[in-house]
Structure 1
């Protein structure tokens, strides 16, 4: 693929071998700017297995200094993770094997160990790696990165270093097995210290939570710490609200995942963490209502111009509605029911939005009919059903659903699944 970004990157990469270290650094900085502007297709066309193997060769031949190759590779990994690009090119390359050996060699040193180098190598390895991280590498990288993230210095440089360490940690996926004894004290300290002193960047704080909630996916014993001691729902709601103020929701989102839009990307990352949290949490927490209300605010703001955020908000509401730890009353007070009925009653113009909302409403209807949920507060349930029925009538929902179920428009398979039983989409007295 030949675009301005790919041409610039390839031209500068070819020139690296004939430069001194300072000139190389300037070229790498320019290459990193080109990477910032790449979309998914551009990124994947540039960072192929062949390119990573070429990087391995220039390191072997000492044509590129280690400092500059780290500067380049850390930025490659950073953009890959932040923009959610997926590629196995690094894993399949000789560079991957070289980085693993370098990490292992540096870690084995008893004297004169270069801690900064080890941190850099661990960061670029974890950010570039795409599969489940081997336990042998987690054993080395996890304590190294946690130590780097615990730095409480207030300088701008220290903040950037902490952000990068936490960003790498956030790429340790929820399927990677990590013993809680190896991280919980440290990550809780990082989160609590920020809550008191506000020392982390917005991205760094999100990354700390992402790492911890990823562990929650397989270790439900973390629930009390996450929900009650560290107050995930409260913190996530506050961060989403602050980030939302920095986004011009009336301006159309740049397509293709081009230039990094930091606040937008961090919002999307928070929403992914919230989905994981609601999918795993079974503990009732009064702070959940505030989080749902905040998600609804982002949902309404993103509906026209930020489709990716909009869909992630809907998925969060799906996960919350399926979570029996949340009460159905929470969804009325947060505006979720109003919004869903407005969307599904408007038109056939956006089938994706309509079916996403229908799926949520089917879950809500099932819960309103569920006798196990209503015994404790029958009067409150009846009042909620009355309000929902009034809103359904106001929006013309019944006529719309009947017409929608008979619609012959060709749609995705999952839409047909939604309308198999029309009674699933109604609330009855």
Structure 2
């Protein structure tokens, strides 16, 4: 996006208060097209607190209809959330409080405008980062109802995707009572597993919303893992998305600015898997398949899509930290091989080196846990031998030696408690 694109957006924005409703709609259409191609920094620069306060003023002075406000802000919020742009400006703006007030007022009406309420909740949640906890009772049921529409036409599915994307922006720190969502989100996921009629992004968003709830409610684990089979579903989605992406693209700037919807959805799935590894402790036999899909993405990403590859490495690191993910799973899924290969890359940044060593020290710790059962102890020793041979084949000890003096720096810089004992990174046979 050239500077002229940002300038054109600001020029059109300044013209809105002097335009009639139809002219505003046309200008907003052009503005929405302009922001499609913007990168993170440009989105942050145009949707700042001044912009939001100006919109608030136009609403108060009746210079802009609510329909046109929603047309502009809903699209901005969609892109902000989709591109994972951190922008706290809306939270501190006058418009934020205005939306809260409108949501409360609309909910109290005997005859609610359901579409308006969904749109208000959408703008509020997609643009913000901090939400009024009292509004949870309104926006969760409202958006789940919108997301439960079974119609399969394109327009209906677009609205379902928007509702689920909005729900996925309700982060794990916000507590939502089970009675507000459990039945509905379970039905949405089950219906998708039977009919496969949601968009890939919508399905990912449904899972992310659900797994975020696990932060406050560990009783959800059985439903997520055993009943709805998250691990197998995530593996299948990652496999399909991996086939849809052109991994040969070497233009990093162009990729960052014009990432395809498939790339964005894949990134969000990997992040969702990471949340799962961090939270869920119920072992599932499908783990190996999921780990192998993440490894497959690392290989596909190569040097051309390092951001995606690095995200997968971090995900494997958290899988290794999960006490219920077995070393056998990591070995069969190819995770150990992938990490041993990655740690020898010449272009690794410090954060990824840190993740690789976190992974390997956790593998080492798991393998040092002796079993009282004689047969299981023999199996552990055999597994130790396999991992040791892989490490020896890759020259792992030499790599560790070359990094060992810098582990103290990583430990201080990333606050992750990396062990400084050389032996903690080794596998004994």
With structure 1 as the length reference, what TM-score do the two structures score?
Answer: 0.93
1:371 aligns with 370
Most deviating of 13-22 and 340-349: 340-349
Q: Residues 411 and 97 of structure 1: is their aligned pair in 2 closer, same or farther, counting only changes over 3 Å?
A: closer
Where in structure 2 are the equivalents of 1:28-427 lying within 5 Å? 28-111=28-111, 113-131=112-130, 133-252=131-250, 254-255=252-253, 257-345=256-344, 347=346, 350-371=349-370, 377-406=376-405, 413-414=412-413, 418=418, 420-427=420-427
Listed as ranges, the gaps of 5+ residues in structure 1 are: none
Task: Give the Cα separation in 1 of the matches to 2:407 and 2:117.
Answer: 60
Task: Give the Cα separation in 2 of the matches to 1:283 and 1:187.
Answer: 20
Q: Residues 62 and 392 of structure 1: is their aligned pair in 2 closer, same or farther, counting only changes over 3 Å?
A: same
Displacement, 1:350?
Answer: 5.0
Most deviating of 137-146 and 18-27: 18-27
Displacement, 1:379?
Answer: 2.6
SS in 1 for 2:244: coil
Displacement, 1:413?
Answer: 3.5
Displacement, 1:253?
Answer: 5.7
Question: What whole-Å deviation, never above 9, does each CA across 1:351-408 have from its counterpart, x for those lacking one?
Answer: 5443322221111011101125986622322222112222222222222222332579
Task: Give the Cα separation in 2 of the matches to 1:415 and 1:134.
Answer: 32
Question: What whole-Å deviation, never above 9, does each CA across 1:281-300 have from its counterpart, x for those lacking one?
Answer: 11111111111111111122
Q: Residues 109 and 410 of structure 1: is their aligned pair in 2 closer, same or farther, counting only changes over 3 Å?
A: closer
Displacement, 1:124?
Answer: 0.8
Task: Give the Cα separation in 2 of the matches to 1:68 and 1:282.
Answer: 46
The answer to whether the 8 Å contact 1:345/1:396 transfers is no
1:11 aligns with 11
SS in 2 for 1:371: coil
Task: Give the Cα separation in 2 of the matches to 1:269 and 1:154.
Answer: 24
The answer to whether the 8 Å contact 1:367/1:373 transfers is no
With structure 2 as the length reference, what TM-score do the two structures score?
Answer: 0.93
The answer to whether the 8 Å contact 1:36/1:258 transfers is no
Task: Give the Cα separation in 1 of the matches to 2:346 and 2:373.
Answer: 33
Task: Give the Cα separation in 1 of the matches to 2:67 and 2:16.
Answer: 13
Task: Give the Cα separation in 2 of the matches to 1:19 and 1:42.
Answer: 25
Most deviating of 67-76 and 416-425: 416-425
Task: Give the Cα separation in 1 of the matches to 2:27 and 2:258.
Answer: 19
Question: What whole-Å deviation, never above 9, does each CA across 1:55-106 have from its counterpart, x for those lacking one?
Answer: 1111222222221110110011111111111122112111112211211221
SS in 2 for 1:358: helix
SS in 2 for 1:59: helix
The answer to whether the 8 Å contact 2:234/2:290 transfers is yes
SS in 2 for 1:151: coil
Task: Give the Cα separation in 2 of the matches to 1:249 and 1:40.
Answer: 22
Please report the RMSD computed on the Cα atoms of aligned residues, expressed in angstroms. 2.4
The answer to whether the 8 Å contact 1:56/1:94 transfers is yes
Displacement, 1:260?
Answer: 4.7
Question: What whole-Å deviation, never above 9, does each CA across 1:211-252 have from its counterpart, x for those lacking one?
Answer: 000001221100110001111001111111111111111213
Q: Please tell me whether residue 26 in structure 1 is matched to residue 26 in structure 2.
A: yes
The answer to whether the 8 Å contact 1:5/1:37 transfers is no
Task: Give the Cα separation in 2 of the matches to 1:157 and 1:374.
Answer: 60
Displacement, 1:22?
Answer: 2.7
Displacement, 1:274?
Answer: 1.0
Displacement, 1:345?
Answer: 3.9
Most deviating of 190-199 and 319-328: 319-328
Q: Residues 359 and 196 of structure 1: is their aligned pair in 2 closer, same or farther, counting only changes over 3 Å?
A: same
Task: Give the Cα separation in 2 of the matches to 1:408 and 1:135.
Answer: 42
